[in-house]
Structure 1
Amino acid sequence: WLYDSKGLVVRDRMHDLQDHKMPFAQGGEMCSSLLEAVNRLKPSVMIGTSTTANSKAKTFTKEIIEAMAKHNKNPVVFALSGRSTALSAEETQECTAQDAYDWSNGRVTFLGGAQEPPVRCPTDGNLKDIRCAHSVYVYPGVALGMRLANSVGVRDEMFLAAAEALAEQVTDEDRAVGAIYPPLSRIREISAKVAAAVAGKAYEMELARNLPRPRNLQ
Structure 2
Amino acid sequence: MARMLGNTEHAFDSAKSQFWVVDANGLITDKRENIDPDALPFARNTNEAGRQGLREGSSLVEVVRQVRPDVLLGLSGVGGLFSKEVLEALKGSTSAKPAIFAMSNPTKNAECTPEEAFSIVGDNIIFASGSPFRDVDLGNGQIGHSNQGNNMYLFPGLAAYITEDEVLKGMIFPPISKIRDITKEVAAAVVKEAVEEDLAEGYRDIDARELQKICQNEEEVLEYVENSMWSPEYPTLVYKRG
Task: Using structure 2 for the length normalisation, give the TM-score.
Answer: 0.65
In structure 2, list runs of 5 or more residues that go unmatched: 1-18, 50-54, 202-207, 223-242
Deviation at 1:190, TM superposition (A): 1.2
Could you tell me which residue of structure 2 aligns to residue 153 of structure 1? none
- CA RMSD, Structure 1 to Structure 2 (Å): 2.5
Structure 1, unaligned stretches of length 5 or more? 139-158
- After the TM superposition, which residues 139-154 of structure 1 pair with which residues of structure 2 at under 5 Å, given as runs? none
2:199 alignment counterpart: 208
1:23/1:197 Cα in 2 relative to 1: closer, same or farther (>3 Å)?
Answer: farther
Are the aligned partners of 2:123 and 2:144 in contact in 1 as well (CA < 8 Å)?
no
Shift of 1:8: 1.4
In 2 relative to 1, CA 198–12 (structure 1 residues): closer, same or farther, beyond 3 Å? farther
The higher radius of gyration belongs to: 2
User: How far apart in 1 are the matches of 2:133 and 2:43?
Assistant: 34
Question: Which structure is higher in RCO with an 8 Å CA cutoff and minimum separation 6?
Answer: 1
Q: Secondary structure at the match of 2:56?
A: coil
User: What SS class does the counterpart of residue 35 from structure 2 fall into?
Assistant: coil
Which residue type is aligned with residue 114 of structure 1?
Answer: S
**Which residue is 1:145 aligned to?**
none
Q: How many residue pairs end up in the alignment?
A: 181
Matched, 1:79 2:102: yes
Q: Residues 203 and 30 (structure 1 numbering): CA distance in 2 closer, same or farther, change over 3 Å?
A: farther
Please report how far the alpha carbon of residue 76 of structure 1 lies from its aligned counterpart in structure 2 after TM superposition. 0.8
Q: Deviations over 1:113-168 (max 9, x none)?
A: 1111120226x551233231122224xxxxxxxxxxxxxxxxxxxx6xx1xx2011
Q: Among the aligned pairs, what percent are the same residue?
A: 30
1:128 to 144, 151, 156: 144
Other-structure match for 2:160: 168
Structure 1 residues 195 and 4, CA, compared in 2 at 3 Å: closer, same or farther?
A: farther
TM-score by length of 1: 0.72
CA shift, 1:12, in A, is 1.3
Q: 1:208 to 1:98 in 2, by over 3 A?
A: same
Q: One-letter code of the match for 1:42? A: R
Cα pair 2:134 2:146 within 8 Å, conserved = yes
Quote the residue 1:95 is aligned against. Answer: 112
Q: 1:207 to 1:11 in 2, by over 3 A?
A: farther
In the alignment, structure 1 residue 21 sits paired with structure 2 residue 22: no
Structure 1 209/131 Cα, relative in aligned 2: closer, same or farther at 3 Å? same
